[in-house]
Amino acid sequence: MSPLNNNAVFKLKDDTIENREFLKVIPSSQEDLDNLSLRLDPSVLDKNTKIDLISAHFAEIMRILGLDLEDNSLKDTPMRVAKMYINEVFSGLNPENKPAVTLFDNNYHYDEMLIEKDIKVHSFCEHHFVPIIGKAHVGYFSNGKVIGLSKINRIVDYFARRPQVQERLTVQIAEELKKALQTDDVAIVIQADHMCVTLRGIKDENSSTQTSSFHGKFREPQYRKEFLESIKNK
């Protein structure tokens, strides 16, 4: 086990005596690291501490795989992966990254269906930690308010950037849009390729997964049909 830097300072967001006791031992051995992990509460650790801990554990995984961490190409990989997890691909696990939503009055009295389609979805399968790559299509009817279009993309991205299953992701986005838009008249369809299917197991590169969540008016056949027809690639 490669020890963490004994001079490292682990920072707590909630700096109380109890929480300082929680991290009073700087992990410098396998036993210390295991004991720390068993007591780990992510809510009290700051971002840099999480990165240091993930880097230490990932370095051990690489050694178990037989990789040479003295190699110039590999020596910084544990830290690169840790930063990627915290700052990028799993940034949706941090509530502080949840997008703020601003609504505007529907001064144009637009009362038809509004659809934003082909929103990128980049997520990770929580079963195998490999990518889920696809697109989302969102529709809603205004109840007197409209949302900035980029906020829809940001909501989709926020819930995608964490270990996920597509079914949960679809429901989470739908529920957040209903809350943000203050209406039940929301629909979402996600179409995605799962690398856990294409890269391993059955290794099927041709299949894809589609999930949907329809609410309010979109449960009525005429509006559901209009939405589904509109998002078809032509």
Q: Measured between alpha carbons, how far is 173 from 20 in angstroms, rounded to an integer?
A: 37
| Active-site pick, 166, 172, 176, 191 | 166
- The more confident residue out of 148 and 12 is 148
The whole-model pTM stands at 0.83
| Catalytic residue selected from 30, 31, 88, 126 | 126
Q: Is 128 a catalytic residue?
A: yes
Q: What distance in Å separates the CA atoms of residue 54 and residue 149, rounded to the nearest whole number?
A: 35
Q: Which of 125, 164, 172, 176 is catalytic?
A: 125
Verify whether residue 194 is a known catalytic residue. yes
Residue with tokens 């597509």: 166
| Segment 176-204, tens digit of pLDDT | 999 999 999 999 999 999 999 999 999 99
Provide mean pLDDT across the span 106-134.
97
Cα–Cα separations (whole angstroms), residue 87 to 5, 70, 94: 22, 25, 9
Q: Is 196 annotated as catalytic? A: yes
Confidence of residue 33 (pLDDT cuts 50, 70, 90): low
pLDDT at 35: 58
Active-site option among 57, 122, 128, 215 = 128
Domains and CATH numbers, the chain: 17-89 (1.10.286.10), 102-230 (3.30.1130.10)
Residue 126 annotated among the catalytic residues of the structure: yes
Active site residue 125: yes
Which residue out of 164, 172, 191, 194 is catalytically annotated? 194
At residue 43, the pLDDT reads 74
What integer pLDDT is reported at residue 206 of this predicted model?
Answer: 94
More confident position, 36 or 2 = 36
| pLDDT, tens digit (0-9, with 9 covering 90-100), for 45-103 | 889 999 999 999 999 999 999 999 999 999 999 999 999 999 999 999 999 999 999 99
